[in-house]
Amino acid sequence: MLLFLIVALLVHSVFFSSIFDIYFTSPLVHGMTPQFTPLPPPARRLVLFVADGLRADALFEVDEDGHSRAPYIRNIIMHEGSWGVSHTRVPTESRPGHVALIAGFYEDVSAVAKGWKENPVEFDSLFNESKYTWSWGSPDILNMFIKGASGDHIYTHTYGAESEDFGAHDAAKLDTWVFDNVKEFFDDARKNQSLFSKLHEEKIVFFLHLLGIDTNGHAHRPYSREYKDNIKKVDDGVKEIVSLMKRFYGDDGKTTFILTSDHGMTDWGSHGAGHPSETMTPLVTWGAGIKSPQKVSAQQLDDAYLKEWKLETWQRLDVNQADVAPLMASLIGVPFPLNSVGTLPVAYLNTTDLFKAESMFTNAVQILQQFKVKMAQKKEVTLSFLFTPFKSLSDSKQLSLLRKARSYIKERKYDEAVSLCKELIGLALEGLSYYHTYDRFFLGLNVVLGFVGWISYVSLLIIKYYSDLTRNVGKEVKKPSCLRLCGFVAIGLSVAFFLLIQASPWTYYVYCLLPVPMWCAVLRESHVIQALIKSLLAFPLRHSVSSVLVFILGIETLVLSFFYRSTLTAGLIAFAGWPVFTQLWTRAKITSLSWTFFSLLTAVFPLMPVVGRKPDLSLVIGAGLLVLLLSIFVTIFLIRSQDHFISEDLLVHLLQMLSVVLSMLVVYSTHHSLLRKEGLPLLNQVLSWTVLASSLVVPLLSPSLLFQRLSSILLSLMPTYLLLSTGYEALFPLVLSGLMFVWILMEQETLQQSGVACKQKLTSIDFSFHMDISQFRQLFLDDIRRAFFLVFFLVTAFFGTGNIASINSFDLASVYCFLTVFSPFMMGALMMWKILIPFVLVMCAFEAVQLTTQLPSRSLFLIVLVISDIMALHFFFLVKDYGSWLDIGTSISHYVIVMSMTMFLVFLNGLAQLLTTKELRLSGKRKSHAL
């Protein structure tokens, strides 16, 4: 079985990674020639302010009295420059956002593996093309533009990473640091002749990365006073820097200013997905080469936001985030970044029509070069008779459009030239996308074949070893047919040779060769398939069809729950009526009533507010008190139910109660310390990590008797969960555990009703004595229902705590008892453990169900794996990269979550077995005392 689990993990890792190779590979190509506009630029220098995490509505909106929290920027919009909304793309993270702004392309999500800090591939940027660039801000952002840059003309000034603390002081100090250092820099320049000369060169860039707004948004939410006050401080800081620049350069009118953001933020202080609050960022431009404000009677984008912002009469010019890079390049006359896919927004320019037309022509040639390189690369690695070129932009059409555009410019038909260049850019971008996704269908087909092959193989294993459907078929593995084996070897070699002559990357070999052994293994069980078909034909057609329909309905219910959490509530309400439909009500009324009560109580949680709820400390403390009461009750129950009570067991219970008390104190103390902006106390941090470290060890000190071990697991994990909770979700594991305990009893009653086994007391069943008892019982149809219950409870364990099926389903406040300084991997790991704790509770209950219903140790797990894989395959077909960014991000999130859940099942199954069966001793021999 260990070998099977390792293979399962490897196979699912391939399926998981396939989504990124199919939909999110690096779009970059190399080998292009830099392109720049052959006319004098309107500006000599450019100042770029990036207010990290600034939402468009937060900057543009006004209060009830019509006052803006950023009066200087609003004055710019109305009297000096042009404005609009910059629309970002998924993933809405800091690194991809800055890459889009400064390099002009949308980075693939492979950068997440490096925490959005390192360059997965080298790329060109505006900073690299400039003569000099000076930057101030976060080391995470500034340093990534140095790596891969040519020369040493990019200078960075950064604060320490430890300054990015969500809890110590007001994070606006990060922005104050930037503004103060810029002022100090220009003061020093007056005394440094070399620096003074560099600052008076042309084609230079000043980049101010302002992280305070993002940090305050994470710590206090975007509607908090801290977030809004930070915007005001940025507004004041921008005003001071603009004044400083004008004084330093003698108000020469050759400086362009741009204020924007890398991404927005959800109401609950996270980002990463495609909600409008994350993808809509402000863009305000003014200074040299920028068009002055234009009053209009009607807007091209007339939405509700304009009225809310009171800007409906001022022309709004929306752009895609990557369009900002060519805009900045054209303003200071540097080559467009080589990998930029942005389209120059000429509506922002206050230049001659000739300059606009030449700039658009340069933009078109620069993107067309990428198209040519991409096409040549794909053509080189594809067999000539299989290569299908992008027909909308043939070589002749490229030449025709370029000649026509150049002719329009010579004839001074500048508007026509701009329109034609935009058409050419559109076709080139379509062509880039075409060649970028050229292998998508081929790869997707192979992944689906692998998926279906894996599901079929596991299903056949279940039928062969754990069911009576093939009772007349021998269990021994027949020697494979030599002809069949040779056939699959030939297929594998043919596929490998086909990929080799096309110089395909190594991952293609994995995706394309994986289905070969899968289907070889499936056909190896042909005798099982034949016996299964005979058995199914012997069943009444009506029963077979109804069973399949019920199974499909169950799968679709699980899939639907990812879109509508209330589906789980409906399912749990249906579960509440299960005892009535199965006659269990008449057999075990108390157990049935308990099942109905806990099902209905659990059904409330998916209806509760999602992440982003306001923290409620009283609910966390209340949950802690309930855990204490439960611990006391369990201790009293065990003392009364046993003649002798082990002193070590009593010590374990006292340790668990102490952990609960410490957790409540830490939660209370940390919450008030952060409110006072005093940071995370060191003692609290040490206690939190100690409780976390002990949570997986303490259960192993308790006896392996079913009731004692399960209660010990709950009481050991709850202190950690309390430390990671901010509101009502602290109550969820308690309610879920109640439902799981009753589930174990219900399954006992169900099995006893069918006459298969006699009911045992939970206090007498020992996990450690559990062994494979497949000779006593085979799988029944009702066992599929048990497996479905498990998957349903696992999905409920995820959505019941306020999570949503999105990669922004995180609340950083959850980890503040452990750390407050920004650390993406550590924070991500803690939030992942918070999600997994309810999963662990469900899986431990699942181990008990397998034990009490006398099932083989792996049979139900395999059924669960099949159900999860069918769900994953369903979501694989739903992944898309078109439509709104909210839809795109959601479809990706769904697949990532369900595949992660499936992979974690293998891990959780092993962890549940460890927690339930293993036992540690504080001493060599247990001492028992009569009580």
The whole-number pLDDT of residue 277 equals: 92
Cα–Cα distance for residue pair 723/700, rounded to 1 Å: 21
For 537-580, write each residue's pLDDT tens digit.
Answer: 777 777 778 888 888 888 888 999 888 888 999 999 999 998 88
Which of the two residues, 822 and 608, has the higher pLDDT score? 608
- How many Å from the N-terminal Cα to the C-terminal Cα in the chain? 43
**Residue with more model confidence, 86 or 895:** 86
The answer, yes or no, to whether residue 78 has pLDDT greater than 80, is yes
Asked if the model's pLDDT at residue 124 lies above 70, the reply is: yes
pLDDT of residue 927: 44
Q: In this predicted structure, what is the pLDDT of residue 152?
A: 83
SS (H, E, C) 125-150: CHHHHCCEEEEEECHHHHHHHCCCCC
Winning range, highest mean pLDDT, from 517-531, 611-625, 644-658: 517-531
Residue 915 scores a pLDDT above 50: yes
* pLDDT value of residue 890: 72
> For residue 469, what pLDDT band results from cuts at 50, 70 and 90?
low
> What percentage of the chain reaches a pLDDT higher than 90?
51
pLDDT band, residue 928 (cuts 50/70/90): very low
Q: Which of 581-590, 699-708, 806-815 shows the highest mean pLDDT?
A: 699-708
Please say if the pLDDT value at position 501 is more than 60: yes
Q: Taking the CB of residue 601, how many other CB atoms lie within 10 A of it?
A: 17
Query: What value does the mean pLDDT take over residues 242-249?
Result: 96
Supply the mean pLDDT for the chain.
Answer: 86
What average pLDDT does this structure show over 372-391? 91
* pLDDT tens figures, 254-300: 999 999 999 999 888 888 878 899 999 999 999 999 999 999 988 88
Is the pLDDT score of 113 beyond 50? no
What's the pLDDT tens digit per position in 169-196?
A: 678 999 999 999 999 999 999 999 999 9
Query: In 319-374, which ranges are E strands?
Result: 319-320
Average pLDDT over residues 67-75: 95
Among candidate residues 428, 411, 313, the one with its CA nearest the CA of residue 29: 428
Residue predicted with more confidence, 900 or 597: 597
Are 166 and 215 a contacting pair, CB within 8 Å? yes
pLDDT at res. 134 = 97
Question: Given a cut of 60, is residue 321 above it in pLDDT?
Answer: yes
Q: Taking 70 as the threshold, does the pLDDT of residue 447 lie above it? A: yes
Residue of 865 and 475 predicted with greater confidence: 865
Q: Does the pLDDT at position 840 exceed 80?
A: yes
Kindly list the distances between the CA atom of residue 783 and the CA atoms of 181, 357, 494, 841, 861, in Å, as whole numbers in the listed order.
67, 70, 42, 20, 11
Mean pLDDT calculated for residue range 49-60? 96
Q: Minimum mean pLDDT among 271-280, 615-624, 819-828: which range?
A: 819-828
DSSP state of 27: -
**pLDDT the model gives residue 929:** 39
Cα–Cα distance list, 636 to 10, 671, 840 (Å): 46, 33, 26
**Tens of pLDDT, residues 189-225:** 999 999 999 999 999 999 999 999 999 998 888 989 9
pLDDT at 835: 87
**Angle at the Cα of 793 from the Cα atoms of 555 and 567, rounded to 5 degrees:** 55
Convert the pLDDT of each residue in 323-361 to its tens digit: 999 999 999 999 999 999 999 999 999 999 999 999 999
Q: What tens digit of pLDDT does each residue of 401-422 get?
A: 999 999 999 999 999 999 999 9
Query: CA 757: distance to chain centroid?
Result: 45
**pLDDT score, position 774:** 45
Q: What is the pLDDT at residue 161?
A: 77
Pairing outcome for strands 928-930 and 644-646: antiparallel
Give per-residue pLDDT as tens, 765-792: 777 764 544 445 677 778 888 889 999 9
Task: Please tell me the predicted confidence (pLDDT) of residue 293.
Answer: 95
Question: How far is it, in rounded angstroms, from Cα 99 to Cα 339?
Answer: 11
844 within 8 A of 912, measured Cβ to Cβ:
yes
Angle, helix 440-466 to helix 515-524, in steps of 10 degrees: 30
Residue 205, SS3 per DSSP? strand
Kindly state the average pLDDT of the residues 442-455.
93
pLDDT for position 646 = 61
Question: Please, which pLDDT band fits residue 822 given cuts at 50, 70 and 90?
Answer: confident
91: cis peptide before it, omega within 30°? yes
pLDDT of residue 930: 39
Neighbours of 649 (CB within 10 A): 20
